[in-house]
Structures are given as C-alpha cells and as structure tokens.
Amino acid sequence: MSANRSTGGGVKTWRQQTRMVRGGLARSGFEETAEAIYMTSGYVYQSAEEAEAAFKGEVTRFVYSRYANPTVAMFEERLRLLEGAETCRGTASGMAAVFAALMCQLKAGDRVVSSRALFGSCHYIIAEILPRYGIETQLIDGRDLSAWEAALAGGARVIFLETPSNPTLEIIDLAAVCELAHKAGASVVVDNVFASPVLQQPLQLGADIVVYSATKHIDGQGRTMGGAVLGTQQFHDDHLNQFLRHTGPSMSPFNAWTLVKGLETLEMRMAQHCANAREIAEFLESQSGIKRVLYPGLDSHPQTALARRQMQDFGSVVSFEIEGDKARAFRFLNALRLIDISNNLGDAKSLITHPATTTHQRLKPEERAELGIGDDLMRLSVGLEDPADLKEDLSQAFNA
Ligand SMILES: *Cc1c(COP(=O)(O)O)cnc(C)c1O
C-alpha cells in the first residue's frame, strides 16, 4: 500500500547520494534520527468502520505486514529513487524476487525466453519449475542477438536475462535485446545483481522489470537476505501486488532496516569494490599459471566495448581459470589464508568459490561446458580489504 509513498521534503531536487541517505525516511512522532524498525505483524484500527474501509481499499494505511510495513516501505522507496522506477517492492530474498517477478505475470501456455548464463537458482526456475506449470521455456546464448531474434520469432510473454552473468561475466546488449523483445510483445525482466543499481540502469535501456538480490551489494556486509522487484505502476497493480500479498514472500522489517542503511553507503562501497576488483584482475592477468581472467573492464574481455557502453563501472566479481585440474584448483583454494571460501558475493570480505562444484553443481556437465564453467574456473568476489593484502594472499596460494 505504501510501496510508492512520497517522502515530501526536497526529494525531487535531491541528488542521488542525498536520496540514498535520506530518501524514503518516514519519522515517527518520536522524531528519531535513524530509520525506525517496526517489528509488528499487524496494525490496529480506531473503529470497526476504519477496519472495514481499510479492507475495502478506501483508505491507504498499513493493514498487515505481509502486505506492507513502514520499515520495508522506507527501504522500497529509497531503492525506487535510486533505480528511477515507478514502484519497488522488497522481498525476503533475491530468489523470492525473481520468482515473484516471473510467476506473477505468467500462466500456462505462455512462453519464456531466457539467456542461459544464469545464477544457479534462476536457471532452476526457468529450466525446471516453470515447465511444470505448462510454461514453455527456452534457454539461449544471451550474447548472440540472432539467437534472441530466432527464439522470439515464436513469440514470448517474458524474457529473462542476467548481465554481467554469474560466474563467467558474459555481457548482454540490454538496449538491443529489449528492442527485439518489445517487437515480439515480450516484457523484459533483468536480474541486475552483478552490476547493482549504481553501475547499470536497465530501465533506462528499455527493460520493464529489474530484480535484485539485496543480499549481495545492497547489504554488502554479509548480514542479511533480501530482494526487490522494480517496475511500472501498472505491472505492480495488475500483477505483482496481489501475488506478493497472497503468497507471502515478504521482507522482514529488521532485514529492511539493515538494507535501508546499506543503501546509504552503496555508491561509495561500489566505487571501492570496482577499484579493488580492477586492481586484482590486472594482477591476475600478470601472473603465470593463470589461463584466462574474466573481468568486463579488462581490454582482454571479448565484450569490453559493450560493457563500457552500458555500465558505468564493472563490478566486484573477477573470474579466472588456473592451469590444471580440480585437485589443483582445490589445493589453491585451500591454501588461501585471507580470502574466504564462500558461495556468497558482494560482501566487504573477499570471497572465492569454485562454481563447478558449488553454485553450478546442479547443471549437467554438458551445460557447464557450454557456459564455460570448468573445473579450472574460480569466481572471486573482491571485497573492501586493502588490495595489497589480497594480492599477497593470492600469490602465496599460487605458490603453494
Ligand atoms: C544471489 C543471486 C540471486 C539470488 O539471491 P538470494 O538473495 O540469494 O536469494 C539471484 N541472482 C543473482 C545474479 C545472484 O547473484
């Protein structure tokens, strides 16, 4: 109900960083400085008549925290301002956001076209869950515009894509793919987690809906799960709102508080993540024993020109292939002393994962091969430590 609540004050003229510190703030009668945590499931009515009016939708007010909550609404409004969307809704996790954004607008008989280089659970939804409900799905190489064109010739209700992709950092031409999708009458859902709202604005490039795992950079400190769906008022009112209300993937007010504070520093943290990641990527490229470094900001990345066109900077994740087999990859991982082995990303702490045996373990070997996820591939989420310490740690592990 209050997902799109206006914040008054000077919000319309505030610049982005001011909005990230103050946007959406709704103070209670106690005039607290920081955003308040409203840990309440329900709300009370002054009269039976008021309750009736609330349920009829005649008055706009908080009714039940599965529908809306004041702390969650502050997070939603702040992220909405950053993205420049008409509406934003918080969810319990990134996957809840992805699933709701797709399922709320799909029905049996619909067709979905998706890029195949996806986060593991997104791949599961597209390849396994949707087809069970009579939704036809097709996975394609998202870098290839002719593959989109061919797949969209059969029509589609929704297209789904992730750019840069996890874990191989493939880049998809957002403006071109949105144009092809719209010509085919499809709505475009973009998973913008790797870029974050600071580095890439899919709505401005033509996308209809953007989804986030707020667990990643928006929290950025490894503390909480969260997600968000951003789009038009019409998409929200016609599809998303009732789906969220009645299926209940709601964000906890406490988590929303953590995330609304995360937005205050997101831009600064992203700038440092990108600077550190670039330094590590260049360092890795100079090392022997490394076959290939994947980072969209490197001249060696096959799609760096496209990345430079549609992104402001290139993110926190660097992937690389080392010489040798799985045993050697594991020896390298186990020799790291500072960088933690973890499947998470976008944390202040540097985290490394071996996608073939963790996040993308579920895929068939031929699917992994198609995506370039070999036993030699590492995904490093570069944190906010001093990069000199990270380089020392990587060097000693390579030598081990
Ligand atoms: C982590 C992630 C998700 C899922 O988010 P959760 O908060 O873990 O549910 C979806 N897409 C991408 C690209 C991710 O990195």
Q: Which residues line ligand 1 (CB under 6 A)?
A: 93-95, 98, 119, 121-122, 162, 166, 191, 193-194, 213, 215-216, 225, 227
Q: What is the distance between the alpha carbons of residues 220 and 345, in angstroms, rounded to a whole number? A: 8
- Block mean pLDDT (10 aa), the chain, length 400: 47 91 96 97 96 92 96 98 97 98 98 95 96 98 98 96 96 98 98 97 98 98 97 98 97 98 98 98 95 97 98 98 94 97 97 95 90 95 98 95
Taking the CA of residue 226 as reference, the ligand 1 atom at the shortest distance is 7
Q: How far is CA 88 from the centre of its chain?
A: 13
Identify whether the C-beta of residue 348 lies closer than 8 Å to the C-beta of residue 384: yes
Task: For a ligand 1 pocket test, name from 99, 199, 215 the mutation site with the most ligand atoms within 8 angstroms of its C-beta.
Answer: 215
Domain residue spans of the chain: 66-262, 265-399
For 385, list phi and psi in degrees, rounded to 5. Answer: -70, 170
Confidence (pLDDT) at 274:
98
Taking the CA of residue 227 as reference, the ligand 1 atom at the shortest distance is 7
Helical pair 145-152 and 174-183, crossing angle rounded to 10 deg: 20
Helical pair 387-399 and 253-285, crossing angle rounded to 10 deg: 60
Confidence (pLDDT) at 2:
39
In this structure, which residue's CA is closest to atom 6 in ligand 1? Answer: 94
Identify whether the C-beta of residue 361 lies closer than 8 Å to the C-beta of residue 321: no
Nearest partner of 67 among 80, 53, 86, 54, judged by Cα: 54
Taking the CA of residue 98 as reference, the ligand 1 atom at the shortest distance is 10
Confidence (pLDDT) at 5:
44
Residue 289, burial from CB neighbour count under 10 angstroms (0-12, 13-18, 19+) = exposed
> 66-262 has which fold?
Aspartate Aminotransferase; domain 2 (3.40.640)
Confidence (pLDDT) at 8:
52
Task: For a ligand 1 pocket test, name from 93, 118, 119 the mutation site with the most ligand atoms within 8 angstroms of its C-beta.
Answer: 119
In this structure, which residue's CA is closest to atom 5 in ligand 1? Answer: 94
Task: For a ligand 1 pocket test, name from 93, 95, 99, 190 the mutation site with the most ligand atoms within 8 angstroms of its C-beta.
Answer: 95
Q: Which residues contact 263 (CB under 8 A, 6 or more apart)?
A: 20, 75, 78, 79, 82, 218
341 pairs with which residues across the strands?
352
Confidence (pLDDT) at 9:
61
Domain covering 265-399 assigned CATH 3.90.1150.10 in the classification: yes
- Omega prior to 365 cis, within 30 of 0: no
Confidence (pLDDT) at 400:
85
Q: Considering the entire predicted model, what is its pTM? A: 0.95
Task: For a ligand 1 pocket test, name from 122, 213, 353 the mutation site with the most ligand atoms within 8 angstroms of its C-beta.
Answer: 213
Nearest partner of 207 among 235, 249, 246, 226, judged by Cα: 235
Q: What is the distance between the alpha carbons of residues 293 and 304, in angstroms, rounded to a whole number? A: 13
Token representation of residue 149: 């064109």
Integer CA distances (angstroms), 131 to 86, 112, 126, 135, in order: 31, 10, 8, 5
- Omega prior to 131 cis, within 30 of 0: no
Q: What is the distance between the alpha carbons of residues 160 and 157, in angstroms, rounded to a whole number? A: 10
Ligand 1 mean position, distance from CA 144 (Å): 24
Sheet containing 136-140: order of strands: 87-91, 227-231, 209-213, 187-191, 158-162, 111-115, 136-140
